[in-house]
A and B are shown apart, each in its own frame.
Chain A
Amino acid sequence: MPRKRDADAEEVEIDVEDDSDSDDGGTKRRTNRRQAAGRGGRGGGAKGRGRGKKPDSDDDDEDEAPRGRGRGANKKRPAKKRGGDDDEDDSEDEAPKKKRGGAANRKKGGKAQDSDEDDSDDGKGKKGRKGGKKGGKEDEDGKGKKGGAKGKDKDDDKDKKKKKKKKDDSSTDSNRDSDEEEEESMSEGEMARLMEEVEEKKKLIANIRNKPWRMKRRLTVLKEAQEFVDKFEGALGKGKGRKWYAYKVMMTKKWIKFQRDFENFRTACIPWERKIKEVESHFGSSVASYFIFLRWMYGMNLVLFGLTFGLVVIPEVLMGLPYGSIPRKTVPRAEQDTAMDYSVLMDFNGYCKYSVLFYGYYNDQRTIGLLKFRLPLSYLMVGIGSFGYSLMLVIRTMAKNADVGGGDGEEGEFTFAWKMFTSWDYLIGNAETADNKYASITTSFKESIVDEQENQKDENIHLRRFLRVLANFLITCSLGGSGYLIYFVVKRSQEFATRDDLSWYEKNELEIIMSLLGLVCPPLFETIAELEDYHPRIALKWQLGRIFALFLGNLYTFLFALFDEVNTKLEEEQSIKNASIWALKEYYANYTRLLNDTDSTPPPMNPADVIRGPCWETAVGIEFVKLTVSDIQVTYLTILIGDFARAVIVRFLNYCWCWDLEAGFPSYGEFDISGNVLGLVFNQGMIWMGAFYAPGLVGINVLRLLSSMYYQCWAVMATNVPHERVFKASKSNNFYMGLLLLILFLSLLPVVYTIMTLPPSFDCGPFSGRQKMFDVIMETIDLDLPAFMGTLFSYAANPGLIIPAVLLMVLAIYYLNSTSKAYQNANMELKKKMQMARDEEKNRRNNKDSTNQVLKDLEDLMPNRSLAPPAPPEPEKPPEPEARPTKTKAGSAGKGVNLQKDVALASSNPSARGPVNRPPGPRGPGPGVGLGPGRGRGRGAPPR
């Protein structure tokens, strides 16, 4: 394209222009003069200029001259093109000066001093103009060349400026004197005008920092403007305004600072941000996404912990009956000898079992303590509330993440450009942070490169599809196989349960098979997934889903076994209950018979000696706690051995080994994202299921998450290496959240089932003695709430009300769903439109004049076409082939199709006549700043 030229082209262009100055007539001279005035009259003109109508554009002009080499020339081009505009500009420029001068003259009468002043001003201007023509040329030449000349030029400029400034100062002084004398005689119009100028100045003061000027210039202009405002504001009776203004500015600054501090404070409140950033910078966002997930879990568990401990555990500890007062709070006599043994405690028996950690410890008193705290009700509510809270939180987070994912649709447009130009944080002033930042930038570039390569991959679709189908088939087979295996083993174990002569293997068969499956299957899946050749991010999701399916089997067997156990416990309990009731009755019978006293005092038995049921709830709770603790142990040991020991061996044995351990076989471990995420998810499932039966479990889990945050952060930084293909995690963690939601539902089911159907133990826990656990609620409604509430509840529980409500909800969901789909469609449409607009803009820029057939026809019709400077089209031609290759290349690099079309369009139009209307030189944009409006205007303007 002819517009893009280098500095040397620029030089040529200017020369041509200056040569043709004489015969070209009006327009050129005018522009030149304008330039010169801008240059020469800098200091002197600054005042008048500042007061001029368009200080901004003028100042830009002035500013460009000294710094952007060739920027001035660039600016000149549009100015020339719209000759008329330029005229106006000039007149506008000068008008205020003149006006002012005139006004001053009028005001000041025939003051000699003042007229002198004006004269000198004028003279200066003229001189500046005259010299400016030459100087301007020189200037531009000098700037055309790079380097040294520029410095000299600048010095010159500076000198000039200084001189001018001095003169200027004196002039302002004298001006002020005279003005002050004449103030009173100002007319209305002048007042208005002055006010306007003051406003302009004020604006200038406010915007001074927005101008890309050198500090010196800024200071000068600022000083002048302030002086002016000071002086004339007083005259206009607005001197107070300044204070108010200063106050406002100060307050804005304070406000901004406060906001910043607040923001800092808020980010400082987010825990482990730095740790995670550090991990992210070395291992990429996918690994960091695990830690973010972990942190999120920690937050949620903290709330659950607060609920359980605040409303259940602590009230019980503070206000409930102390240990040893009733049978359920006492260790039975038979167990008392071993109750403090370490091994027993580690199995959560002994004192642990009869502690506040487990369900059985809680008493069934309706209210406890002075505050009449309804513990049983609170217990049930907290149990249900934790589920409710978790559900809400998970779903809310998912919705928010989805929102984030959909919000930044523009992301894709400038991924690499933004990465390149905005990723370095200029705030970094610390070597370590800088190192991290380097690492993180590199990682993020690598991530994007992987994404991009994935996009560009041209593949054999049929082969890939076949491989993917095959892989899925294989994995389904292995999943089905392991499912059957689990089923088979469970069946067998039920069979074994009735026998006594079992070998060690037969006893532990289920566990062994399960852990073997857990050990073998994930790597197997990973191997099979190689076939599919997905992007690592998608591959991770598949892997997660598959292992999840496998682990579901694990969960299922566990629950199965648990329910079996509960059922046997229930039977046992029934018999014990009968027995104890019978014993009690017998005791009472004996008691009354012996003492002839019908007072039913309880039997004088030590609480440790009372016969008690198995308390299946505590058993379940213990099961879950054990499971959680063993999970913690296994995880930590795996990290310690699998990662740390391996890293140590690889690192230090490498000196004396026959092959390269670091690069070769064992190497360092990679961080296993899928395994860790699933571990976390399943662990949380255990917590949800077990928390109802073991309130202490939440506390254990909080500790676990807290420690594993530090431990895993350390482990990953110390012992792992980044993945081979560092990939970017999807912006929303919604896949993890989805898994979590699934687990939440799965763990909700058994708990709700037990609460709703199984009878609670008769002698332990807050619901003992009731038929069902939720009877507590009924009791509360009946006893504590006013009667109408009870009727209200009974109405609400009526199926006739519930079914319509469900129907209504379904309808609402349907409606919302369809609306959201409609919005989605609209969104897509808009996105498409934006893309199209962008392409169009690109096209238009590409083939400015050449393709615009209509405009060209119009140009042909213009009568004064012949008057236009006859510029030969030949010199125009050469640049085009030069430009074309770059275009094609750039096009083929990426979004090929569109651009290719452009090229075709451009070349199919042989009558590329647009550029004819002026010499080739001026069309090339200065290497300086291509100003948008200038170009835009240049495109369609009819030739003159």
Chain B
Amino acid sequence: MGNKQTIFTAQQLFYRYRDLAPQLVPLDYTNHPDVKLPYELIGSMPELKDNPFRQRIAEVFSEDGQGNMTLDDFLDMFSVLSEMAPRDLKAYYAFKIYDFNNDDFLCKSDLEKTLNKLTRNELTEEEVRMVCEKVIDEADLDNDGRLSLEDFQHMIVRAPDFLSTFHIRI
């Protein structure tokens, strides 16, 4: 677990960002150079490398949707995942992260992907199907067979440990 518990500042984050690829990122950022770190570097950060959703996180927060991040994207990511970020914001981004096909709905395929990532494909197909059905049945308020952001928020704000789990400390 990330046991260091400093609330990190933009300064520290910048150094973290730069440490990922010192040869790419200049120290001087005054005239906003257009630097992007590829996903391979972002995904190998110790904070992310064990996360089953690291690719999604990088994709959601990167401006190009490919997981390649500028410094701003990087700051964005950690500000949303920081402890200080409000619940709604976190919920919004969590929704984006779990929305694998970017259609702004969590449909069955998204849920299946999430579940398989969470359990490393250890559930049988039958079980996966059943769990996904249950999830939709529980959280889908408008009965369209998929979860909208609204449904998702309605469900997630009641979750007792959403806030405690959906954040990263550096």
Contact = CB atoms under 8 A, between A and B. Distances in A.
B50 A894 contact: no
Contact of B135 (A150, A420, A442, A846): A420
A150 B59 CA distance: 14
Contacts of A448: 131
B118 A426 contact: no
Contacts of B5: 257, 260-261, 264
A441 B165 CA distance: 13
B73 A890 contact: no
Interface string A917-944: 0000000011111111001000000000
Given A417-B139, A890-B140, 7 more contacts: A210-B86, A214-B63, A426-B51, A427-B167, A428-B50, A442-B120, A930-B148
Interface residues of A, number: 79
A429 B47 contact: yes
Interface stretch (B19-27, B35-43, B100-108): B100-108
A845 B51 contact: no
For B49, B140, B148, B166, the residue with the greatest tally of chain A CB atoms inside 10 Å of its CB is: B148
Interface stretch (A313-321, A348-356, A408-416): A408-416
B168 A427 contact: yes
Contacts of A260: 5, 83
Interface in A369-411: 408, 410
A68 B155 contact: no
Specify the main secondary structure of chain A where it touches its partner. helix
Contacts of A434: 50-51
Contacts of A930: 148-150
Given A428-B50, A930-B148, A445 B123 contact: yes
B152 to A, nearest CB: 8
A215 B78 CA distance: 11
Interface stretch (A475-483, A812-820, A881-889): A881-889
A442 B114 contact: no
A842 B143 contact: yes
Contact of B156 (A1, A211, A410, A421): A421
A428 B81 CA distance: 13
Contacts of B51: 424, 426, 428, 434
Contacts of B161: 422
A231 B107 CA distance: 50
Contact of A430 (B1, B123, B160, B165): B1
Closest A-B pairs by Cβ, 9 of them: A434-B50, A886-B145, A215-B72, A894-B137, A416-B134, A442-B119, A845-B142, A417-B139, A929-B149
Contacts of A261: 5
Given A414-B158, A438-B120, A842-B143, A890 B136 contact: yes
Given A210-B86, A214-B63, A426 B165 contact: yes
A665 interface: no
A431 B44 CA distance: 12
A421 B147 CA distance: 12
A880 interface: no
A6 B103 contact: yes
Interface string A568-591: 000000000000000000000000
A210 B86 CA distance: 6
Contact of B131 (A7, A209, A445): A445
A423 B117 CA distance: 12
B72 A410 contact: no
22 contacts: A209-B85, A209-B86, A210-B89, A414-B138, A414-B158, A415-B134, A416-B138, A417-B138, A422-B161, A422-B166, A427-B168, A427-B169, A428-B1, A428-B50, A445-B115, A842-B142, A846-B142, A886-B144, A890-B137, A894-B133, A927-B105, A929-B150
Contact of A441 (B119, B127, B135): B119
Nearest to A433: B1
Interface of B: 1-2, 5, 7, 46-47, 49-53, 63-65, 72-73, 75-76, 79-81, 83-86, 88-89, 92-94, 98, 102-105, 111, 114-115, 118-120, 122-123, 127, 130-131, 133-145, 148-150, 152, 155-156, 158-162, 165-169
A687 B89 CA distance: 55
Contacts of A53: none
Interface in A1-40: 1, 3-4, 6-7
A462 interface: no
Nearest to B140: A890
A253 B166 contact: no
A891 B103 contact: no
A438 to B, nearest CB: 5
A799 to B, nearest CB: 53
Given A215-B79, A256-B83, A422-B159, A414 B139 contact: yes
A264 B2 CA distance: 12
Interface in A212-264: 212, 214-216, 253, 256-257, 260-261, 264
B139 to A, nearest CB: 4
A927 to B, nearest CB: 4
A706 B76 CA distance: 47
A425 interface: yes
B84 A209 contact: yes
Nearest to B84: A209
A416 B132 CA distance: 8
A256 B98 CA distance: 29
B160 to A, nearest CB: 8
Given A150-B65, A890-B137, A446 B123 contact: yes
A257 B7 contact: yes
B72 A146 contact: no
Given A420-B131, A842-B141, A893-B133, A68 B159 contact: no
Contact of B123 (A410, A427, A442, A886): A442
A68 B7 contact: no
A418 B155 contact: yes
Contacts of B134: 415-416, 452, 893-894
A841 interface: yes
A889 B132 CA distance: 13
Contacts of A899: 143
Contact of B150 (A69, A256, A931): A931
Given A209-B84, A422-B162, A426-B168, A154 B122 contact: no
A182 B168 CA distance: 49
Contacts of A109: none
A894 B135 CA distance: 10
Given A438-B118, A442-B123, A845-B142, A927 B159 contact: no
Contacts of B150: 929-932, 935
Given A154-B63, A216-B72, A426-B168, A442 B142 contact: no
A929 B148 contact: yes
B103 A449 contact: no
A886 B143 contact: yes
B144 to A, nearest CB: 5
A842 B139 CA distance: 10
Contacts of A841: 141
A927 B142 contact: no
Contacts of B145: 886-887, 889-890
Nearest to B148: A930
A417 B139 CA distance: 7
B135 A417 contact: yes
Interface string A865-904: 0000000000000000001001101110111000100000
A926 B103 CA distance: 10
A428 B167 CA distance: 10
Instruction: With a 10 A CB-CB cut-off, give which of A256, A264, A438, A935 has the most chain B CB atoms.
Output: A438
A675 interface: no
B104 to A, nearest CB: 4
A211 B85 CA distance: 9
Contacts of B89: 209-212
B166 A426 contact: yes
A569 B122 CA distance: 64
A102 interface: no
A934 to B, nearest CB: 10
A151 interface: yes
Contact of A214 (B76, B81, B159): B76
